[in-house]
């Protein structure tokens, strides 16, 4: 099945606009998005690549059809909740979550997980809140064992 080319996206905003593109390109994955889509457009390419691989595994490798029920940012990383997935597909989702900790959620440029106030977020230097500190600094300051050098 030929895929619809994706148009340029406005990354510096919530992904509601880009969600429609993902729904069109991966209708089976986004057929039952119960609890919504809550992240910014900087992760659009990451989510698009993840969905492409998830669907390929279903179409060509006999993996179950992944159906997303919620996609959101949680503690600065991508959380992609599904109804069903094989072990390999869960690995793809885990890898995308790990990669999201290195990509600014706002613009997609390289970033770091930062803590500002009570919020964890992955941001590049341009989008980093002024008062934010790295997750490592935050955990070391709190005395969390095994985190700081």
Largest CA distance in the chain: 53
Computed over every residue of the chain, the mean pLDDT equals 87
| pLDDT score recorded for residue 146 | 62
pLDDT above 50: residue 8? no
Q: What ranges do the domains of the chain cover?
A: 16-141
Alpha carbons 81 and 34: distance in angstroms, whole number: 10
| Residue 7, pLDDT score | 34
Q: How many CA atoms lie within 13 A of 48 on its CB side?
A: 21
- Does residue 49 have a pLDDT over 90? yes
Give the HSE-up count for residue 107: Cα atoms under 13 Å, Cβ half-sphere. 10
Dihedral sign of CA atoms 110, 66, 75, 20 in order: positive
H-type helices in the chain, by residue range? 16-25, 44-61, 87-100, 135-141
Percent residues over pLDDT 90 in the chain: 68
- Residue 140's pLDDT is 85
């Amino acid at each position: 099945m030929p895929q619809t080319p994706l148009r340029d996206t406005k990354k510096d905003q919530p992904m509601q606009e880009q969600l429609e593109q993902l729904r069109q390109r991966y209708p089976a994955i986004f057929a039952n998005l119960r609890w919504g889509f809550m992240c910014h457009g900087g992760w659009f390419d990451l989510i698009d690549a993840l969905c492409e691989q998830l669907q390929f595994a279903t179409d060509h490798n006999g993996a179950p059809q992944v159906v997303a029920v919620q996609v959101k940012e949680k503690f600065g990383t991508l959380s992609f909740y599904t109804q069903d997935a094989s072990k390999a597909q869960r690995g793809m989702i885990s890898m995308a979550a790990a990669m999201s900790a290195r990509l600014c959620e706002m613009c997609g440029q390289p970033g770091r997980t930062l803590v500002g106030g009570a919020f964890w977020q992955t941001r590049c230097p341009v989008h980093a809140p002024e008062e934010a500190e790295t997750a490592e600094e935050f955990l070391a300051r709190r005395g969390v064992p095994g985190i700081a050098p």
